[in-house]
Amino acid sequence: MDSELWIALLATAIGTFLMRALPLLWMQRHLVRKQAGNSLDAMPSWLTVLGPLMIAAMFGVSLVPSKVSTQAWLATAIGTLVTYLVWKRTNSLGWPVFVGVVVYGGVILLANVAA
């Protein structure tokens, strides 16, 4: 890499870091200024709503299979349903994800064997 590319890489890295760190510092100062007993009360309400919405948006985006096909969509639908059912039963974090991936992979493999 030449020196110009190094500068571009560092600018991207520093810019990305600042976008993650500076808003946190701003909010921490905001919370101190408000000096609320409960920090959540001092948070702008739109921000507390936006957090779960960002996760839902990431969920929607990540549902699209890397190789789009009818079988992959079917595996996604079954895998998602099974993940939710296992969560309902176990109320845990790891098991639903593990079983979901196994079922998703199983459907993909079965579809490949059948095809």
Partner 1 sequence: MSLQIASTESRSLLLGAREAIPLLGGYIPVAISFGLIAIQSGFSGWEAVLISTLVYAGASQFLFVAMVASGAPLWFVVLMTLLINARHVVYGPNIAPWLNKNRWWPWLMHGLTDQIFALALVRLPQLEARERMGWYIGASIVAWFSWIGGTALGAVAGKELTQRWPLLGEIMPFALPALFLVLLAPRFASRLWAITLGSTAIVALLFAVSGMKNAGIPIAAVCGALVYYGLSSLVRNKVQRSRGARDG
Other Cβ atoms within 10 Å of 85 Cβ, number: 13
Q: At its nearest, how many Å lie between partner 1 and the CB of residue 9?
A: 6
Two structure tokens written together for 45: 């309400």
In single-letter form, the type of residue at position 62 comes to S
Instruction: State how far Cα 41 lies from the chain centre.
Output: 25
Candidate list 10, 77, 89, 110; residue touching partner 1; CB under 8 A: 10
**Residue 103 near residue 78, CB atoms below 8 Å:** yes
Residue 65 makes CB contacts below 8 A (sequence gap 6+) with 72, 73, 75, 76
Q: At its nearest, how many Å lie between partner 1 and the CB of residue 82?
A: 9
Candidate list 77, 89, 97, 110; residue touching partner 1; CB under 8 A: 97
Q: Which of residues 37-96 bind partner 1 (CB under 8 A)?
A: 39-40, 42-43, 46-68, 72, 75-76, 79-80, 83-84, 87-88, 93-94, 96
Q: At its nearest, how many Å lie between partner 1 and the CB of residue 71?
A: 10
Q: Given the complex with partner 1, which of 35 and 62 has the nearer CB atom?
A: 62
Using CB under 8 A as the binding rule, whether residue 110 contacts partner 1 is answered as no
